[in-house]
């Protein structure tokens, strides 16, 4: 049972991360988030991260853009772990907080490697995903583009995206 809960934590934390990335994109574009959601929902996850990295480079000061790109890259790495966990084939281990993941690939190739992982290890990955989500939210909040009490409301529609743009080079 503990394993199922830990695997579920991964699913929930990743969904929240995907939502936050979409929110970051819409806010940095100055778009209404509810109007942007149909677009985001049709984008693969990697495409969302790539889009966020591109728009960060255009709209944010260099240090903020660099931090956001780094956070995106870390999330993509964690995405690989997430995929192994959510799409793996699990066999119960010796106790209810340990399981064995059978590694196999498309076309019937099965590896002899069957790693044992604990619910705690999976929960730690979920915590890392949650921390990334919070980091994205904090970036938006610093830019005046996120109100944690009402996340769907854009606290500075229009003007904040202008304020988030990097200063133009002097002529």
Q: Does position 105 have pLDDT exceeding 70, yes or no?
A: no
| Closest by Cα among 122, 145, 8 to 64 | 145
Is 102 part of any domain?
no
What does the pLDDT read at residue 61? Answer: 94
Q: By mean pLDDT, which of 10-24, 41-55, 98-112, 153-167 is the weakest? A: 153-167
Pairing verdict, β 116-118 and 89-92: unpaired
Is 69 part of any domain?
yes
What does the pLDDT read at residue 110? Answer: 62
The two tokens of residue 60 are 């944010």
Is 101 part of any domain?
no
| pTM of the complete model | 0.83
What does the pLDDT read at residue 48? Answer: 97
Give the rounded percent of residues in the chain with a pLDDT score beyond 70: 85
The domain in which residue 28 lies consists of: 2-88+120-163
Is 95 part of any domain?
no
Q: Taking a C-beta distance cutoff of 8 angstroms, is the pair 92, 99 a contact? A: yes
What does the pLDDT read at residue 170? Answer: 40
Is 8 part of any domain?
yes
Q: Which residues of 70-83 are buried (b: 16+ CB within 10 A; e: fewer)?
A: ebbeebeebbebbe
| Closest by Cα among 86, 115, 121, 117 to 102 | 115
Average pLDDT in the 92-101 region?
84
Provide the number of structural domains found in the chain. 1
């Amino acid at each position: 049972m503990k394993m199922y809960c830990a695997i579920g934590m991964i699913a929930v934390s990743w969904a929240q991360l995907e939502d936050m990335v979409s929110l970051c994109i819409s806010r940095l574009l100055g778009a209404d988030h509810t109007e942007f959601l149909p677009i985001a929902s049709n984008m693969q996850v990697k495409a969302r991260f790539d889009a966020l990295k591109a728009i960060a480079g255009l709209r944010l000061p260099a240090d903020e853009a660099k931090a956001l790109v780094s956070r995106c890259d870390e999330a993509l790495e964690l995405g690989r772990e997430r995929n192994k966990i959510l799409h793996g084939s699990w066999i119960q281990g010796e106790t209810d907080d340990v399981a064995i993941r059978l590694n196999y690939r498309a076309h019937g190739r099965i590896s002899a490697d069957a790693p044992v992982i604990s619910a705690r290890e999976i929960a730690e990955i979920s915590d890392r995903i949650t921390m990334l989500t919070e980091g994205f939210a904090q970036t938006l909040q610093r830019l005046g583009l996120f109100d944690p009490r009402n996340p769907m409301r854009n606290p500075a529609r229009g003007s904040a995206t202008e304020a988030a743009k990097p200063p133009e080079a002097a002529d």
